Amino acid sequence: MQPSRRSLTPLRIRFLGSGDNFGSGGRFQACILVEAPDARFLLDCGASSLIAMRRYGISTEQVDAILISHLHGDHFGGIPFFVLDGQLISRRTRPLVVAGPPGLKERTRLLMEAMYPGMASVPRKFPVTYVEMEEERPVTVGTLVVTPFKVIHGSGAPSYALRVDCSGRILSYSGDTEWTDTLVRAAADADLFICESYFYDKQMKNHISYRTLQEHKGELTSKRIILTHLGEDLLSRLSDVEMECAEDGKILEL
The pLDDT score that the predictor gives to residue 107 is: 98
Under 8 Å between Cβ of 40 and 33: yes
Q: How far is CA 50 from CA 26, 85, 155, 166, 223, in A?
A: 15, 8, 22, 24, 31
CA distance 91 to 240: 46
- Give the pLDDT of the chain (254 residues) as one tens digit per residue: 444 444 566 899 999 999 999 999 999 999 999 999 999 999 999 999 999 999 999 999 999 999 999 999 999 999 999 999 999 999 999 999 999 999 999 999 999 999 999 999 999 999 999 999 999 999 999 999 999 999 999 999 999 999 999 989 999 999 999 999 999 999 999 999 999 999 999 988 999 999 999 999 999 999 999 999 999 999 999 999 999 999 999 999 98
Q: Which domains does the chain have, with CATH numbers?
A: 10-253 (3.60.15.10)
Residue 150 dihedral angles phi and psi, to the nearest 5°: -70, 130
Q: What is the pTM of this model?
A: 0.96
The pLDDT score that the predictor gives to residue 5 is: 46
